Structure 1
């Protein structure tokens, strides 16, 4: 069985998730190859386009992003996907039995080209783009359940706008494909099932995996020494790529929760740690001293950051899954999140974390207090957080579930 994964890069949330599945399959002795434009590892099983095609794809992605930013103020949060990939010959030469699509939206593989792929397709969703008119996340808009158009993200009042054009292209391109959808969370699977484009397709839920040997609890004292963090404070961790700028990640909801908390007896007991962003020139008043770790790209640094904290807060407004939450739990650090979207599948309320009422700032603050105020309870939460990660998110479990799906699809080919 030869599995080919297609994703733009090894980095970012989608790229990291795709690579973890790839590595899990390799560990299970499955022939797995990943084709990316941007390669970061030295794995021979990760391949890139021919040199001239690779250069074209990098320019293609940057030009298309520049056009979107110029006319709509959108870059990575919206994709038209309108240019040819020149990857079809290379894909065919890799002779896959199944092609597993991941994040292909940003001009990686033109959507009309899927009709020319002769093998069964599995699309692992990492956001909503595959079934919308171009946005990665729809926010409060549900126009993807019909035919898009009049897109609020593009400030459009026209029914026949850019999103309607993209939707129509997808409706034609997805027709008659041998396509199975995999969602990492129940919430995203429900959104896909409600969409006009995927409502008739088979949709399976398989959580994203991670290496629970790399993401495991380290000594909190040692972790803090390495990261130059205080030993005498309880630390609240918040992390995301461009954490304080990406509104979907919920920093604007965390901020008032922390400011409210600082007015209580916790003001001298807590400090904050943020990774994924460096300290801004004019940092906001968070109510507590804040340590900015910048972007942490290697597993060890991330595991140390999680292990250094007493609680992780993931206040996302919309999240396909929430890998920072599963990583934190694997390191034995309980998580506070809103009882919404993909995070509901990761955090079990008052068992390994706290699920606040969406999107109530005061309950988010209360969740932090509930986790930290009782030492005995906190130790139990840490224990069960690690157990949940081992039981649900290990690479072996994820690979086994995908392998069962691959085998079934090939048997029915």
Structure 2
């Protein structure tokens, strides 16, 4: 791969994804694509077919209209979204039925590299990655969560079975992504075969995610880090008064929190409600976004915001962004808030601490104790000087370390460190000569 990159200056890359641009991992993939296109690569997406009904989705389609970063032009080529039939993908007992069609679609695009993100909604097995590698297609698994490490779940939280062997005793087998209990041990073993024996590399989104992978595979797998980036021209400071006028928020101190599904216990649901109850009595406003946001008492719930171009207004209108998630592998909303120069308050754990730095761009808290969190939120939200200080530091962190250009540079450095896949170099060259 390094030789091809050196000779041509760019690669043809296929992003493999279950849900395309939907939800958190979809937003992360879109930002990865933005970085890769800015860096001159050719990029296509292959995803499960139910989202796009077999169409090749153009950049002008509403689902990808936000692809071109504000004020930028791509030097690379966008090859669209290509889907495979999803009918078989949701049946965990028959999951390999969709593999031949998936492999054929990827092979038809003749990529130099496949970056496989989340696969769990489609039910695609990790064995797909080995099959691509054996076809001579360089493949890497990108870790938006921990699904590439476990036998089933995306986040094991306090369960440690993924370190020793997931099996039919999985305590959450019925939860998303559900998998028949008798298949869990097999999928756990498949991942050990793919990432250790076949040596398909993994790339993590944070220091914590990499540490989790190293622990899961006993340091026997190849795991690197390429942190996610954000469009710092879109996610940028906006006049606070204007944002509040647009959102209809008064001048009281205002706290924002949210997620794709902010009602989940894992996103801090119970803790967040307690914090709201404490601070609302003191005249502090709360605004939330995401599924489940309307269920919070005393909170203005905005629901799921599908267009990220609306999000900077929300961040600008608040005095503080709060995350009470039990575990985040990265923390995209914390990065977005920081890029918009908003101070952040988070729990101290997971990959979120790569972005949220205690005493720098906000505060990180060791324990999910509502009164302690409320004290810290009050301290920041009601202090304009602290808000501006932490906000400016967060903006600087985003610009220096998490911009689209920084992400592009990290991917290029990773590609430059990689050799050829196991199939012959001649096979790869002949494939590239006959590309569609």
Which TM-score bucket, shorter chain as reference? 0.7 to 0.9
Is this contact kept in 2: 1:120–1:178, CA < 8 A? no
Specify which of 132, 155, 162 is matched with residue 144 of structure 1: 162
Q: Where in structure 2 are the equivalents of 1:243-258 lying within 5 Å?
A: 243-244=262-263, 246-258=264-276
**Residues 131-150 of structure 1, C-alpha deviation per residue, up to 9 Å, x if partnerless?**
10101110111111111122
Is this contact kept in 1: 2:146–2:209, CA < 8 A? yes
- Between Structure 1 and Structure 2, how many residues are aligned? 378
Are residue 216 (structure 1) and residue 250 (structure 2) matched? Answer: no
Q: Where in structure 2 are the equivalents of 1:62-81 lying within 5 Å?
A: none
Are residue 123 (structure 1) and residue 141 (structure 2) matched? Answer: yes
Tell me how far apart the structure 2 counterparts of residues 194 and 21 of structure 1 sit (CA, whole Å): 26
- In structure 2, the partner of 1:41 is 64
Per chain length, whose mean CA-contact separation is higher, i.e. which structure has more relative contact order (CA < 8 Å, sep 6+)? Answer: 2
Tell me how far apart the structure 1 counterparts of residues 211 and 95 of structure 2 sit (CA, whole Å): 24
Residue 63 of structure 1: CA displacement? 5.3
Are residue 24 (structure 1) and residue 24 (structure 2) matched? Answer: no
Tell me how far apart the structure 2 counterparts of residues 225 and 278 of structure 1 sit (CA, whole Å): 25
Tell me how far apart the structure 2 counterparts of residues 307 and 344 of structure 1 sit (CA, whole Å): 22
Is this contact kept in 2: 1:254–1:364, CA < 8 A? no
- In structure 1, the partner of 2:372 is 363
Specify which of 277, 289, 297 is matched with residue 275 of structure 1: 289
- In structure 2, the partner of 1:74 is none
Tell me how far apart the structure 1 counterparts of residues 221 and 13 of structure 2 sit (CA, whole Å): 21
Are residue 193 (structure 1) and residue 214 (structure 2) matched? Answer: yes
Q: Where in structure 2 are the equivalents of 1:386-397 lying within 5 Å?
A: 386-397=395-406
Is this contact kept in 2: 1:81–1:106, CA < 8 A? no
- In structure 2, the partner of 1:294 is 303
Tell me how far apart the structure 1 counterparts of residues 123 and 37 of structure 2 sit (CA, whole Å): 24
Tell me how far apart the structure 2 counterparts of residues 36 and 177 of structure 1 sit (CA, whole Å): 24
- In structure 2, the partner of 1:237 is 256
When residues 227 and 261 of structure 1 are mapped into structure 2, their CA distance, relative to the original with a 3 A threshold, is: closer
- In structure 2, the partner of 1:134 is 152
Tell me how far apart the structure 1 counterparts of residues 296 and 339 of structure 2 sit (CA, whole Å): 30
Are residue 113 (structure 1) and residue 133 (structure 2) matched? Answer: no
TM-score normalised per structure 2: 0.81
Computed over aligned residues only, the root mean square deviation of the Cα atoms, in angstroms, reads 2.4
Residue 262 of structure 1: CA displacement? 4.1
Tell me how far apart the structure 2 counterparts of residues 225 and 23 of structure 1 sit (CA, whole Å): 31
- In structure 2, the partner of 1:7 is 17
**Residues 37-67 of structure 1, C-alpha deviation per residue, up to 9 Å, x if partnerless?**
3352267522222xxxx4x31x334555xx9
**Residues 340-369 of structure 1, C-alpha deviation per residue, up to 9 Å, x if partnerless?**
111111111021011011323222112202
Tell me how far apart the structure 1 counterparts of residues 189 and 355 of structure 2 sit (CA, whole Å): 35
Tell me how far apart the structure 2 counterparts of residues 360 and 343 of structure 1 sit (CA, whole Å): 18
Tell me how far apart the structure 1 counterparts of residues 245 and 161 of structure 2 sit (CA, whole Å): 50
Tell me how far apart the structure 2 counterparts of residues 247 and 284 of structure 1 sit (CA, whole Å): 12
Tell me how far apart the structure 1 counterparts of residues 33 and 296 of structure 2 sit (CA, whole Å): 40
Is this contact kept in 1: 2:258–2:290, CA < 8 A? yes
Is this contact kept in 2: 1:36–1:47, CA < 8 A? yes
- In structure 2, the partner of 1:342 is 351
Residue 240 of structure 1: CA displacement? 0.7
- In structure 1, the partner of 2:204 is 183
Is this contact kept in 2: 1:81–1:105, CA < 8 A? no
Tell me how far apart the structure 2 counterparts of residues 202 and 323 of structure 1 sit (CA, whole Å): 25
- In structure 1, the partner of 2:186 is 165
- In structure 2, the partner of 1:153 is 172
- In structure 1, the partner of 2:408 is 399
When residues 83 and 239 of structure 1 are mapped into structure 2, their CA distance, relative to the original with a 3 A threshold, is: farther
- In structure 2, the partner of 1:77 is none
Is this contact kept in 1: 2:344–2:363, CA < 8 A? yes
Tell me how far apart the structure 1 counterparts of residues 296 and 346 of structure 2 sit (CA, whole Å): 21
SS across alignment from 1:60: coil
**Residues 49-97 of structure 1, C-alpha deviation per residue, up to 9 Å, x if partnerless?**
2xxxx4x31x334555xx9xxxxxxxxxxxx955423111121121111
Tell me how far apart the structure 1 counterparts of residues 38 and 353 of structure 2 sit (CA, whole Å): 29
Residue 375 of structure 1: CA displacement? 2.1
Residue 302 of structure 1: CA displacement? 0.7
4+ long deviations beyond 6 Å: none
SS across alignment from 1:337: strand
- In structure 2, the partner of 1:97 is 112
When residues 237 and 297 of structure 1 are mapped into structure 2, their CA distance, relative to the original with a 3 A threshold, is: same
- In structure 1, the partner of 2:72 is none
